[in-house]
Amino acid sequence: MGLKERLQGDLTEAIRGRDEVTSGTIRMVLTAITNEEVSGKTARQLSDAEIVTVLSREAKKRREAAEAYDLGARLDKAALERSEGEVIAKYLPVQLSDAELQQMIKDAIAETGTVGPAGMGQVMKVLSPKIAGKADGGIVSAAVKAALSN
């Protein structure tokens, strides 16, 4: 069973269980997936890896919105965004720990043989497919920049 089918099945269960947060979040995610499928010149079916990319983007939106609501002292809205993020996280791969990420960065630097900040693009090119959906791109970018600066 693919990821999209799993989402659709879980949506049915959430509706039956009257879980409004889960059903609403899965509906939003499925809409984002459908929008991605029909964007461009021809409609296509997304692979599970592409769906993980969409899920990661949606999770990031929820994190950023929760932070914005926190700054605006809208704690009720921030809590809702966080709970939606938790629903999305169930469908994402397990996130990398800091130690695992640092080791992957060291391996990528060794593989490319780059030295200094100028080689960041090469390191990210090697690293990106390995970490897709498992770590936030901004965090990875900052960690690579710090590793290359040393």
Reported as a single tens digit per residue, the pLDDT across 72-102 is: 889 999 999 999 999 998 988 777 778 888 8
- Averaged confidence pLDDT in the chain: 86
DSSP 3-54: HHHHHHHHHHHHHHTT-HHHHHHHHHHHHHHHHHHH-SSS--PPPHHHHHHH
| Contact of 36 with 52, CB cutoff 8 Å | no
DSSP 82-130: HHHHHHHHTTSPPPPPHHHHHHHHHHHHHHHT--SGGGHHHHHHHHHHH
Segment 1-34, tens digit of pLDDT: 688 899 999 999 999 999 999 999 999 999 999 9
pTM of the model: 0.71
